[in-house]
């Protein structure tokens, strides 16, 4: 019975929200799940019509405002490169990345979460607790979108 209550709280964590893709000049309505890390960075996962999937990350360190480079998402021993990713300036103490991810990488995120980021040569590692928190959110997102892992 406890497992069912966890499922309910997971699905109830989703919010309807608008995602702006500045690179495309478009806005999308979708379902969003988010978690806030110890350093006040925020990781959000979006599903648009449960067909397109995006991640938006607000970072509080390693600023390269308005720079375009490869953002490498680290998930345990796996990496996911995002070419031509831009770090947008939100404030003097916060930057933002937003990018689309493929369904197959969502399965990796479900199992591994996000353990770090590399952008413009700067490495951002997440603490073990933050990594576990992100993995829990990714698992919830994946299982809500595609059903339980078999």
Domain ranges across the chain: 2-146
Residue whose structure tokens are 């399965």: 107
Residue 11: the pLDDT is 66
Residue 61 DSSP class:
S
Dihedral angle over CA of 66, 91, 27, 22, nearest 10 = -10
> What strands, in cross-sheet order, belong to the sheet with 116-119?
78-86, 68-75, 116-119, 122-125
Its CATH architecture, for the domain 2-146, is: Sandwich (2.60)
pLDDT for the residue 5: 34
Quote the pTM value. 0.89
User: Residue written as tokens 């499922």?
Assistant: 7
The pLDDT score that the predictor gives to residue 149 is 57
Rounded to whole angstroms, the Cα distance separating 63 from 68 reads 12
Kindly provide the residue ranges of all beta strands, DSSP E only, lying in the chain, ordered along the sequence: 15-21, 26-36, 42-48, 52-59, 68-75, 78-86, 88-91, 94-101, 116-119, 122-125
Query: pLDDT tens digits for the chain (150 residues)?
Result: 333 333 446 867 899 999 998 888 899 999 999 999 999 999 999 999 999 999 999 999 999 999 999 999 999 999 999 999 999 999 999 999 999 999 999 999 999 999 999 999 999 989 999 999 999 999 999 999 998 754
């Amino acid at each position: 019975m406890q497992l069912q209550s966890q499922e309910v709280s997971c699905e109830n964590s989703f919010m309807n929200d608008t995602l702006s893709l500045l690179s495309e000049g478009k806005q999308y309505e979708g379902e969003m799940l988010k978690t806030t890390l110890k350093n006040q960075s925020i990781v959000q996962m979006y599903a648009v019509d449960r067909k397109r999937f995006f991640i938006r990350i607000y970072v509080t360190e390693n600023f390269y405002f308005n720079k375009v480079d490869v953002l490498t998402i680290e998930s345990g021993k796996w990496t996911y490169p995002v070419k031509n990713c831009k770090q947008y300036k939100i404030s003097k103490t916060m930057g933002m990345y937003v990018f689309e991810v493929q369904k197959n990488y969502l399965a990796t995120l479900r199992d591994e979460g996000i353990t770090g980021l590399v952008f413009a040569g700067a490495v951002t590692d997440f603490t073990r607790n933050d990594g576990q928190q992100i993995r829990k959110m990714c698992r919830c997102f994946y299982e809500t979108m595609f059903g339980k892992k078999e």
